Chain A
Amino acid sequence: MLLNGAQILVESLVEQGVETVFGYPGGSVLDIYDQLYKNSHRINHVISAHEQGAAHAADGYARVSGRTGVVIATSGPGATNLVTGIANAYLDSVPMVAITGNVASHLLGKDSFQEVDIVGITQPIVKHSYLVKDVKKLSQTIKEAFIIASTGRKGPVLIDIPKSVQKDVCEYISKPVTVKQHNVAFDNDFDAALQAIKQSKKPYIYCGGGVIAAEAEAEVLELSKKLSAPIGLSMMGLTAIPADYELNLGMCGMHGKYASSVAQSEADLVIAVGVRFSDRATGNVDKYSEKCTIIHIDVDAAEIGKNIRKKIGLCGDVKEILNFILPSISSFKNEEWLARIEENKKADKTENDGSFTPRNIISTVQSFCDNDTVIATDVGQHQMWTVQYYQFKKSRTLLTSGGLGTMGYGLGASIGGCIANNKKTTVLFTSDGSFGMNLNELATAVSQKLPIFVIILNNGVLGMVRQWQNAFYEERYSQTTLNRQTDFPMLAKAFGGNGYSATTLEELSDILRNSNNLCAPCIIDCKIDMDEKVLPMIPPGGCINDIILE
């Protein structure tokens, strides 16, 4: 069958099982969009307000569905607008295929109109990338891209397709493609790991996003039950274990739960599963590993020994490794250890006194949510409050920017997540600062009729930076007091959505209660105090002894 490049792209996407793509048309992708027009019954295209929003939507879609997200942008500015979204997916190991058009082959390298070297620009932030120069290689390239994005440690792959290649015609035959998996020489010392587990009196499990990526949630839970080991979670791993599981101590690290950080510091064994020991999660790495043996299980050999050097490393698919070692582990229970953990958990408990604080706002919103409601956040204080206080019960229900910490991630991500979750009600917790970055995507949520509650924890300042200025810069609030006069409810209405303000928990509940059968985004502006802090906090590079509780 003779097809042009654009047709081959669409056929290949359909073959990959892609149902929804996010993107924005332009001069260098006209041929692709012409084919998307003709194939709209096979592939649903969601147009964003800005390519960054489309990239975050593809990211959110991938996180919720577990499948590879796809984003399409034109050459030049369309492509550069993807950069933050691609970097975000790279840092959080999200499977994504980004497709960019480029100028015609004969114009490449001539600084042509809307030409940039997007392969070069994105090189440090992709798992792999392609500039397709020959239409005959396009089909194979797309197949490879999907395999690379979704296997091993997942991540974004970019395919740059010059306009001329989209027009070029060739015989299209779909041949199977194999991508050589690198056999990284890694000596898995299972005996040492099992020995360390056997000897441990105070085991602790540190569970990260790799557990969700490998779908190993049940195995980690089984490990915890077998060893009566408490679990601390990285932010990326937060939804892997239900919040109400008795040994789930919640997030660990800089803004983690007190019980989680203390248990880690007192454990004699840390079994780290699908984590990379980010500086935000460990603080001072020497102190972190001072008293404990560390078993590090991860799919990426380069992560084992990168941040924590003293370790027993087990490299490979996290699920397979856990299933391999679980039968050799005998049940263990240290009542004293469990009692100590139970005692520490008390420090994290506070009562809802009915005041209009971030914590109570989040709890109130949660009372209107199901276990499978997708929760998105932006970045900053509201993000930390959400991951601290929202009780996640189901894997893949949290969309948050971990590694890159992208303010403006949330709205795009919630759009992608909402679509992946069959357009069920979705919640975005954001702030006036973060929301201001990419609020243009409200237009997308309106046109797509998406029931997204946008809860703005509005403190009028850039709260997290302000908190640091307060703690470490003698209250010199440089450029963090915004003095904006944005009327968020009115803004929502201007975009064609719904908008409200709430000043009490009762008002908030009423708005949520009366917003059933929502088929448009709904902003709820919640004014909170500008000096609310995210606590506890272990200062950067610190350890448990440095923890600030009040």
Chain B
Amino acid sequence: MDNKFIVGLIVSNHFGVLNRVAGLYSKRNYNIDSLAVGETENPEYSRMTIVSTGDKYMEEQVVRQLQKLHDVKLVVVLDEQNSVSVEHMLIKLKANGDRTEISELINTYGGKVMDFSNEYITSEITASSEKIDEFIEKAKLFGILEVCRSGSISMVHGTENMLSINNL
């Protein structure tokens, strides 16, 4: 049974690491749905959140193969039970008439208007990936000019965080 699963990584923060991680997925024939990466509070390390689709076998292989990379310091599988996940999206919608409905939609999803003119509205939405899918579906009604999604980022519940650089 294929499911979406999220892997959180702490990796060395130097050039080529992203390439190694992404290369491992492609070499093993695993698909990446989304990948988000950024520096941690310690500039020596970066943190990645990678979303893929696959069965339990693939999930186990992904984790074990990732653990073998020298630049990968920590690997944790994140799910709804142990973590919270959100995604950011910037979306540009056609808006050359009445904007009430668009504004309502954005408000319903807790979005912010970042930029606009007589022809368009650019909004930022932060929500779960599913909610963002939902928003895009509804926004099609108005006409989507552009979409830019960040990919999921996730964080573990509680203070005993397996994915903290304090555990290195």
**Partner-B contacts on A (CB < 8 A):** 119-120, 123-124, 127-128, 131, 148, 153, 179-180, 182, 184, 300-302, 305-306, 309
- Chain B, 48-68, CB within 8 A of any chain A CB: 57, 60-61, 64-65, 67-68
Say which residue of A123, A306, A309 sits within 8 Å of B23 (CB atoms): A123
Of all chain B residues, the one with the shortest Cβ separation from A131 is: B16
Of all chain A residues, the one with the shortest Cβ separation from B69 is: A128
What's the tally of chain B residues with a CB closer than 8 Å to chain A?
18
Min CB gap B69→A, angstroms: 8
Does A302 lie within 8 Å of B64, measured CB to CB?
A: yes
List residues of chain A with CB within 8 A of the CB of B108: none
Min CB gap A528→B, angstroms: 39
Q: A119-B16, A302-B64 are in contact. List 18 more A-B contacts (CB 8 A).
A: A120-B16, A123-B20, A124-B27, A127-B70, A128-B70, A128-B71, A131-B15, A131-B16, A153-B68, A182-B67, A182-B68, A184-B64, A301-B67, A302-B61, A302-B67, A302-B68, A305-B57, A306-B61
Residue from B65, B67, B69, B71 whose CB has the most chain A CB atoms within 10 Å: B67
Residue from A123, A302, A306 whose CB has the most chain B CB atoms within 10 Å: A302
Q: How far is the CA of A179 from the CA of B27 in the complex (A)?
A: 25
Does A300 lie within 8 Å of B68, measured CB to CB?
A: yes
List residues of chain B with CB within 8 A of the CB of A305: 57, 60-61
Residue from B16, B57, B60, B70 whose CB has the most chain A CB atoms within 10 Å: B70
Closest 5 interchain pairs by CB?
A: A302-B64, A128-B70, A124-B27, A301-B64, A302-B65
Q: How far is the CA of A301 from the CA of B71 in the complex (A)?
A: 17
Q: How far is the CA of A301 from the CA of B62 in the complex (A)?
A: 11
List residues of chain A with CB within 8 A of the CB of B81: none
Min CB gap B119→A, angstroms: 40
Q: How far is the CA of A184 from the CA of B69 in the complex (A)?
A: 12
Q: How far is the CA of A123 from the CA of B23 in the complex (A)?
A: 8
Show 17 A/B contacts (Cβ-Cβ < 8 Å), sorted by A.
Answer: A119-B16, A120-B19, A123-B20, A124-B27, A127-B68, A128-B70, A131-B15, A179-B70, A180-B73, A182-B67, A182-B68, A182-B72, A184-B64, A184-B67, A302-B61, A302-B65, A309-B57
List residues of chain A with CB within 8 A of the CB of B72: 182
List residues of chain B with CB within 8 A of the CB of A301: 64, 67
Does A148 lie within 8 Å of B64, measured CB to CB?
A: no
Residue from A128, A153, A182, A305 whose CB has the most chain B CB atoms within 10 Å: A182
Of all chain A residues, the one with the shortest Cβ separation from B16 is: A119
Residue from A123, A148, A153, A180 whose CB has the most chain B CB atoms within 10 Å: A123
- Chain B, 7-64, CB within 8 A of any chain A CB: 15-16, 19-20, 23, 27, 57, 60-61, 64
List residues of chain B with CB within 8 A of the CB of A123: 19-20, 23
List residues of chain B with CB within 8 A of the CB of A120: 16, 19
Of all chain A residues, the one with the shortest Cβ separation from B20 is: A123
List residues of chain A with CB within 8 A of the CB of B68: 127, 153, 182, 300, 302
List residues of chain B with CB within 8 A of the CB of A309: 57
Q: How far is the CA of A306 from the CA of B60 in the complex (A)?
A: 9
Does B61 lie within 8 Å of A148, measured CB to CB?
A: no
Q: How far is the CA of A153 from the CA of B23 in the complex (A)?
A: 20
Min CB gap A90→B, angstroms: 11
List residues of chain A with CB within 8 A of the CB of B64: 184, 301-302
Of all chain A residues, the one with the shortest Cβ separation from B70 is: A128
List residues of chain A with CB within 8 A of the CB of B16: 119-120, 131
Min CB gap B153→A, angstroms: 24
Min CB gap B162→A, angstroms: 10
Q: How far is the CA of A120 from the CA of B15 in the complex (A)?
A: 11
Of all chain A residues, the one with the shortest Cβ separation from B26 is: A124
List residues of chain A with CB within 8 A of the CB of B27: 124
Min CB gap A158→B, angstroms: 12
Q: Mark B66-107, 1 if CB is under 8 A from A, else 0.
A: 011111110000000000000000000000000000000000
Q: How far is the CA of A124 from the CA of B64 in the complex (A)?
A: 16
List residues of chain A with CB within 8 A of the CB of B67: 182, 184, 301-302
Min CB gap B29→A, angstroms: 12
Q: How far is the CA of A120 from the CA of B16 in the complex (A)?
A: 8
Does A148 lie within 8 Å of B70, measured CB to CB?
A: yes
List residues of chain B with CB within 8 A of the CB of A148: 70
Q: How far is the CA of A305 from the CA of B57 in the complex (A)?
A: 8
Min CB gap B20→A, angstroms: 6
Q: How far is the CA of A497 from the CA of B68 in the complex (A)?
A: 45
Q: How far is the CA of A212 from the CA of B73 in the complex (A)?
A: 29
List residues of chain B with CB within 8 A of the CB of A153: 68
Q: How far is the CA of A179 from the CA of B15 in the complex (A)?
A: 19
Q: How far is the CA of A127 from the CA of B70 in the complex (A)?
A: 8
Q: Mark B117-158, 1 if CB is under 8 A from A, else 0.
A: 000000000000000000000000000000000000000000
Min CB gap A129→B, angstroms: 8
Min CB gap B146→A, angstroms: 31
Min CB gap B24→A, angstroms: 8
List residues of chain A with CB within 8 A of the CB of B19: 120, 123
Q: How far is the CA of A399 from the CA of B108 in the complex (A)?
A: 68
Of all chain A residues, the one with the shortest Cβ separation from B15 is: A131
Of all chain B residues, the one with the shortest Cβ separation from A144 is: B70
Min CB gap B64→A, angstroms: 4
Min CB gap B2→A, angstroms: 16
Q: How far is the CA of A319 from the CA of B132 in the complex (A)?
A: 52
List residues of chain A with CB within 8 A of the CB of B69: 128
List residues of chain A with CB within 8 A of the CB of B57: 305, 309
List residues of chain B with CB within 8 A of the CB of A127: 68, 70
- Given A131-B16, A302-B64, A124:B23 Cβ within 8 A: yes
